[in-house]
Structure 1
């Protein structure tokens, strides 16, 4: 019986892709929740105040006021959201690979819209409403619009009749349905100057944040059987085994 040597390359790094989705969810949620906790602890009355009303007529801060108006919550948020960038881009490419279908353009649409959407997120995160209200709103609206192709493509590419697809679909629906009371309450606040309307608007705004993060968090389930490996091409890293 002849003996042959077959090289086996040991992976330099090997981990379950769920780690990427978990890191993305953890960093993004932490950024918003820590900023909210710090803001309400240090500047509660200031961040619930708007151009028409203050406490007690308004009692809950908007996302923009929480993450962009005051130090140190603004800086804390920006540091934590920056940590989300790495997992975010990995998540985009992993979804592209995971849900790729050669006969469909949807994987490419999801990847492109996801990348542009991430850039617009950076726009409304680092250009706050205090810095430039118009550009902050432009980036925010662009982000929401780009959520349409992102959610649609990811949901459609998910295996049909699966629990994962159903969960993604319902999360996306809730996100877009929440825009209806959001717009109504914003009009009540901005046009009719109704006391308390902006606090209810803030509830909807925060709900959008959690639903948006929640939609991507379903990748934790999707990636459970996906493993990433990094291997060296250097022959010195090979082990020889006899068969």
Structure 2
């Protein structure tokens, strides 16, 4: 019994240490740009190359306001009001699953940012639980503007292509601050599956998504929605 108590005590201390370090790193990244992400490192390991990644960090002021609007319209329309998790979207996804439909994602932009920075791909309850906890902590420690800035700089827009600046240059030959509304919607349209969808050569399905995203952008009020970011 003594050995069990000692083991449990050490496990508890390790968990506390892990939580403390995580909060310290989250607080640091509120002010310091992350040098890399778990997804970028994973891609480099899988590809066997450290030089095959394109990622050029730019501050939010140097990103067209159409881009944050496009990802909000496409990925998370309650981004500005929720606390890291969209409980309405989660409840809808659960009800659809219970009704016999496939399990779909209900991740917020905050959750996706946490996943890209710290976690791994694939679907599992363990990863989703950690992702949810990180998202709540991130939303408590970071302003929405910082979450959006980091998300747009770490999101994957294609194989080895990370961040909106690199994606904008590769697909459209312009810096991120010159993206038009339609170009921003094309980039946002590939986010659900950037290894398959191509913003530079969109399939008919991607074009349909772009049209839907553009309509949502208009319904949300255009760039006035993200005016506080700029």
Do the two structures share a fold, i.e. TM-score over 0.5?
no
Instruction: Please say which structure displays the higher CA radius of gyration.
Output: 1
User: What band does the TM-score fall into relative to the shorter chain?
Assistant: under 0.3
Higher RCO by CA contacts (8 Å cutoff, separation 6 or greater): 1
TM (norm. structure 2) is: 0.26
Q: Which has the higher strand share?
A: 1
